[in-house]
Amino acid sequence: MAIILKHNFVAKFPTPATKKILKQYQNFIDPAERWIPWYWAEHGISYNTNLIKPDKAPKTWFDLCKPEFKGQVSFDPSETRFLAGLHVMMGEEKTKECLRCMGQNQIIIQTGHTQRMELMLTGDHALQGDNYFYTGVEAKRKDPKAPFAMVLTAPILSFAGGMIINKNALNPYASALFVDWTLSADSQNMINEILRGPLTIKHPYLPDNVKLVTYNVVSDDITKRLHDAWGQYIGRMK
């Protein structure tokens, strides 16, 4: 989205369909009406309950720096969505401090959110940050004994998938109808059924009072500094 916005390929589309979006998700709406959010996804903390008991589980993002979790926490490689969420949640200096302490705690870098979840559930490691919950929820629904639990005391970094209309579209009105449809009951119920985050109805597994950090696009200069900090403190750890 950032590249599309930078090159000004976006048609503005004000639509009353966004009035259906629930209050806790309204920060996903672009005031300049350049995109329409239609679902959201999370980056949070989860853990293997065979390896960590609930009373010993982390409660905050900085808890991932605790010595008892050394070498037991996995992340994907440097990822803009995750770093942007940390920045919105705690600011640039705290984000750098968090990356520094996690790097010192010998975090594990493995590519692929789904693969990391599967590895954690098999006991490869104990904890995950930068984590989509739905894979673990799916595993738990298939087998109630699956050793998966979410950390809901720490804020969940949440970002929306957006619908953008090309300002040079040959059929802009058809595009507009499709964008509006994504916030319809049919679309939102489908999102709910596949355990993603709908915007107009109750979430399929998260409680209503969960702590969310909602955000959209951050500037290029901030993004570069965050990736540079990741490279400095974490790099390409295995």
Question: Is 58 within the bounds of a domain?
Answer: yes
Question: Is 40 within the bounds of a domain?
Answer: yes
Angle, helices 113-121/134-142, rounded to nearest 10 degrees: 40
Q: Is the pLDDT of residue 2 over 80?
A: no
Q: Is the pLDDT of residue 39 over 50?
A: yes
Q: Which amino acid is at 129?
A: G
More confident residue, 174 or 216: 174
Instruction: Please state, in angstroms and rounded to a whole number, the distance separating the CA atoms of residues 183 and 26.
Output: 13
Average pLDDT, the chain: 94
Kindly indicate the confidence band of residue 236, based on its pLDDT and cuts at 50, 70 and 90.
low
Q: How many CA atoms lie within 13 A of 172 on its CB side?
A: 10
| Helices within 124-193 (DSSP H only) | 134-142, 172-181, 185-193
Kindly indicate the confidence band of residue 182, based on its pLDDT and cuts at 50, 70 and 90.
very high
Q: Is the pLDDT of residue 48 over 70?
A: yes
Parent domain of 58: 2-233
pTM of the model: 0.90
Q: What is the pLDDT of residues 135-165, one digit of tens each?
A: 999 999 999 999 999 999 999 999 999 999 9
Kindly indicate the confidence band of residue 238, based on its pLDDT and cuts at 50, 70 and 90.
very low
Structure tokens at 181: 């449809």
Q: Is the pLDDT of residue 218 over 90?
A: no
- List CB contacts of 21: < 8 A, sequence separation 6 or more: 28, 29, 37, 183, 199, 200
The answer to whether residues 135 and 205 touch, using CB atoms and an 8 Å cutoff, is no
The total number of structural domains that make up the chain:
1
Instruction: Please state, in angstroms and rounded to a whole number, the distance separating the CA atoms of residues 190 and 105.
Output: 40
Question: Is 238 within the bounds of a domain?
Answer: no
- Looking up residue 64, the CATH number of its domain turns out to be 3.40.190.10
Which residues sit opposite 215 in a β-bridge? 159
